């Protein structure tokens, strides 16, 4: 499937360009040595939102105890949606 391969190469090239541009656009990081983007923090564990399945950095996650279970959410909206309770599907 040559079309697929070309798409993959294009994606890889786009990713490398994106990385390069991003590092150029963050001059303050080089001064402080600390990335401003919390997602770039090295070693920050990611946790999954129990409601929508999105991954968020652990320090930003909202924790709640639902039905005796400890759960993590990405936003208050997701937390509210989970505590409301939904039928299993």
Q: Which residues bind Zn ion (CB under 5 A)?
A: 49, 51-52, 54, 74, 78
- Tokens read off for 72: 């993590």
Element at 24 (helix H, strand E): helix 2-24
- Tokens read off for 8: 């993959």
Q: Are residues 38 and 28 in contact, defined by beta-carbon separation less than 8 angstroms?
A: no
Looking at beta carbons only, is 29 or 60 nearer to Zn ion? 60
Looking at beta carbons only, is 27 or 67 nearer to Zn ion? 67
Looking at beta carbons only, is 44 or 54 nearer to Zn ion? 54
Cβ at position 81, least distance to Zn ion in Å: 8
């Amino acid at each position: 499937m040559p079309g697929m391969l070309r798409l993959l190469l294009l994606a890889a090239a786009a990713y490398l360009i994106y990385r390069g541009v991003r590092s150029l656009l963050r001059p303050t990081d080089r001064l402080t040595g600390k990335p401003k983007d919390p997602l770039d923090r090295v070693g920050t564990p990611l946790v999954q939102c129990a409601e929508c399945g999105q991954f968020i950095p652990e320090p930003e996650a909202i924790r709640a105890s639902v039905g005796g279970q400890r759960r993590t959410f990405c936003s208050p909206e997701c937390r509210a949606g989970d505590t409301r309770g939904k039928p299993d599907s």
